[in-house]
A and B are shown apart, each in its own frame.
Chain A
Amino acid sequence: MTIFTFALKRIFKDKTNLIFLTMFPVAAIFLPEPDDWPLLPYGYHYFGVLILFVGIRLTGILVEDRQKGVVKRLAAAPVTHFQYLWQNLLAFAVILTAQCMFMIAGGVIYGHELYESWLLLMLFIVFSFTAIAISLAWNSLYRNKETSFLVFMCVIIIMAMLGGIMMPIEMLPDILEQIAVIFPTYWLAEGLDWIVMGEDIADFLLINGVLLLYTLLFLIIGSIRRID
């Protein structure tokens, strides 16, 4: 588990990461509750976007490794690419899970109406996995950490807009509404709606299932071993 502990240390060494991981969630907890839309407090509704940002920040260290030639040296070390990958991903997942727990616990203590807080936590954790997988796949396309991060920021905005996080999905044209389904953010928004109004648990499981399928899909794409 050397790589795992080292990944954790590296992430906390970066001051920007600390801001992303602590200040933003704290600020999100204290955001007010809206009048009609979204149904959850603003901070919780937009938390998915924050998860995506944190995901790309964290997986950025994999691109950095490639940039600095660490991957090349690892190829010569008695460490398999699989070990390197899963220990890093585990570190990211642990951090994001902790952040989700912190967020939910903070909301409950502050006194927000979170309806099914345990299921909300579960949804956020599953979405965190998806976010890590997406950013992993995204990063595998780039050689440079900064470019990857900047372009992904635009992608996040598009995903949030079309996926129904920024604005209600019903506002979109019919065809876009249909296409929106391909964005993982759509399923997060659906899940958030379910938390407030949902009845059938099967729907919630379907939503999580789709998110997990997406995680698998992007993990397969992102786990490609690039030594360059």
Chain B
Amino acid sequence: MRESFVTIWRFMNILFLLSLWTIQSESIISFLLIVSLAILVCLRWRFHLPAWTVLIDIVICALFIPVWSASVFGFALPLFESITRGNYAYILPIVILIPIGEMYSVLLFWFLFQAGFVGVLVRQWKKQRDLYISEADLERHSRHELENMKNELLKANRQTAQLAELSERNRIARDLHDHVGHDLTGASLAMDTFEHLEGKDAENMIQEIKLRIARSAARLRDTVHDMTPVARMDADVLEHIADEFQHTATNFQKSGDMSQVPAHYWSLLEPCLKEALTNVARHSDATNVEIQLDVTATIIRLSVQDNGMNASGLNEGTGLRNLKLRARAVGGSLSVDAASGHLVVCVLPLGKEEENR
């Protein structure tokens, strides 16, 4: 955009010189000045010329001053070039050469002034544009780095999970081999020996076998018990919370396929239920709380309904407000109703989120 404006401005100058030449009915030779300047303008349009080429313009104009005094108007072009490029040293020869033309008109002054002014404008314009470009580049760069960092963290997370799984598998294999395996092999060998023994030795041997089998069964149970996670997961968490609630009686019911619910939803449903139950304990006179968790193909709905009569404290605390925001962030909603007892309903979308990814 900037380039094309500059090119148009340069060609306008050539046209100005041409019209001046036509009006003044000058000699054919001075026409060469216009053609040479036009060639330089074309070169600047097509290629990026180095700054010293401004001198060529100045020399050409200076050479034609004796033939055609209005050649000094041609200095507008090198003046403009030197200012746009910031090579102010080239202004000096122009200033020195202008008096040679012996053309002291107001037109010349203002013409050269506008050339310099446009030059300053173009220079500022270019500076600003370069600044914006470098800022945009910097921003893009940091965004790229951030993205890289995120990817690396996610990768590290996955690797950690995998490592944990592997070490757990190793532990199980080791336990089975070290304890259960030895005892069972020992019991099997003792059985073989038992067939050849009689009397008290046989009695001792059978006791030994019993001990070994009992011990390995216990070991096996321990190992399997270690495998089941200690922390509760999924809907069990909610159920556990409901069970632990001492203030009133609770009734927890669930329906649907709980495995469909993404893991991070549980971390939203859990505080939701806690908040609702805390509210019941603090503000309500209810005696029973009905908790219903439904999972369908498209939504998850958690409703907590109490049978309290005191509907005065409906003003939402920070807890519920935060939960509302979090529910909205995943595309769901959380609503509170106090028409008959307190009812807190949290609805989260299912399936849709996976499609978006």
Which residue of chain B is the closest to A181 with respect to CB atoms? Answer: B31
- Known A-B contacts A220-B42, A221-B42; the reply to A213 vs B32 at CB < 8 A is yes
CB-based contact B22/A175 at 8 Å: yes
Is there an interface contact between B35 and A223, defined as CB atoms closer than 8 Å? no
Query: In the complex, are the beta carbons of B39 and A220 less than 8 A apart?
Result: yes
Among A181, A206, A217, which residue has its beta carbon within 8 angstroms of that of B38? A217
Interchain CA distance A214-B25 in the complex, whole Å = 21
Whether A178 contacts B35 in the complex (CB less than 8 A), given A206-B28, A220-B43, A223-B46, comes out as: no
Asked if residues A210 and B32 are in contact (CB atoms below 8 Å), the reply is yes
B96 adjacent to chain A (CB < 8 Å): no
* A216 interface residue per 8 A CB criterion: yes
Q: In the complex, what residue of chain B is closest to A207 when comparing beta carbons?
A: B28
Q: Whose C-beta in chain A lies nearest to the C-beta of B44?
A: A220
Q: When the two chains form their complex, are residues A217 and B35 in contact, meaning their CB atoms are under 8 A apart?
A: yes
Q: Are A220 and B32 in contact (CB under 8 A)?
A: no
Q: How far is the CB of B259 from chain A (nearest CB, A)?
A: 54
User: Which residue of chain A lies nearest to B25 when distances are taken between CB atoms in the complex?
Assistant: A178
Q: Say yes or no: is A179 at the interface (Cβ < 8 Å to chain B).
A: yes
Count residues on chain A whose CB falls below 8 Å from chain B CBs: 16
B230 lies within 8 A of chain A by Cβ:
no
Which residues of A, 195-228, contact B by the 8 Å Cβ criterion? 206, 209-210, 213-214, 216-217, 220-221, 223-224
Q: Does B287 contact A (CB under 8 A)?
A: no
Task: Give the distance to chain A from B10, nearest Cβ to Cβ, in Å.
Answer: 13
- Complex alpha-carbon distance, A224 and B47, angstroms: 10
Counting chain B residues whose Cβ lies within 8 A of the other chain, the interface size class is 10 to 19
Which residues of A lie under 8 Å from residue B112 when comparing CB positions? Answer: none
Q: Are B39 and A224 in contact (CB under 8 A)?
A: no
Q: Is the CB of A181 within 8 A of B28?
A: yes
B36 at the interface (CB under 8 A from A): yes
B18, B25, B39, most chain A CB atoms within 10 A: B39
What's the nearest-Cβ distance from chain B to residue A31, in Å?
A: 30
- Within 8 Å of chain B (Cβ to Cβ): is A141? no
User: Which residues of chain A have C-beta atoms less than 8 A from B29's C-beta?
Assistant: 206
Interface pair B42/A178, CB less than 8 Å apart: no
Q: Does A182 contact B (CB under 8 A)?
A: yes
B37 → A minimal CB distance (Å):
10
Asked whether B22 lies within 8 Å of A213 as measured between CB atoms, the reply is no
Residue of chain B at shortest CB distance from A216: B39
Q: How far is the CA of A155 from the CA of B36 in the complex (A)?
A: 23
Contact across chains for A210 and B35 when beta carbons are under 8 A apart:
yes
Known: A206-B28, A206-B29, A213-B36. A179 touches B43 (CB 8 A): no
Interface-central residue, A182, A213, A214, A220, by most chain B CB under 10 Å: A220
Q: Closest CB of chain A to B67's CB: distance in Å?
A: 12
Residue of chain B at shortest CB distance from A221: B42
Given contacts A210-B31, A213-B35, A213-B36, contact A179 B22 (CB under 8 A): yes
Residues of B within 8 A of A209 (CB): 32
Q: Are B35 and A224 in contact (CB under 8 A)?
A: no
Rounded to whole Å, the gap between the CB of A182 and the closest CB of chain B is 7
Contact yes or no, B39 A178, CB < 8 A: no
A221 to B28: give the CA distance in the assembly, Å: 24
Beyond A223-B46, A224-B46, whether A214 also contacts B22 by CB under 8 A is: no
**Shortest Cβ distance from A160 into chain B, in angstroms?**
20
Closest to B35 in A: A213
Minimum CB–CB distance from A36 to chain B (whole Å) comes to 25
Q: Which chain B residues (24-77) contact chain A, with CB distance < 8 Å?
A: 25, 28-29, 31-32, 35-36, 38-39, 42-43, 45-46
Give Cα A179 to B22, complex, Å: 7
Cross-chain contact B39 with A213 (CB below 8 angstroms) = yes
Residues of B within 8 A of A178 (CB): 22, 25
The chain B residues found within 8 Å of chain A, CB to CB, are 18, 22, 25, 28-29, 31-32, 35-36, 38-39, 42-43, 45-46
Query: Can you list 7 pairs linking A and B with CB atoms under 8 Å apart?
Result: A178-B22, A209-B32, A210-B32, A213-B32, A220-B45, A221-B46, A223-B46
Chain A positions near chain B (C-beta within 8 angstroms): 175, 178-179, 181-182, 206, 209-210, 213-214, 216-217, 220-221, 223-224
Going nearest first, the 8 A-B pairs with the smallest beta carbon separation are A220-B42, A213-B35, A178-B22, A217-B39, A220-B46, A221-B42, A181-B31, A216-B39
Given contacts A181-B31, A210-B35, 20 further A-B contacts (CB under 8 A): A178-B22, A181-B28, A182-B18, A209-B32, A210-B31, A210-B32, A213-B32, A213-B39, A214-B35, A216-B39, A217-B35, A217-B38, A220-B39, A220-B42, A220-B43, A220-B45, A220-B46, A221-B42, A223-B46, A224-B46
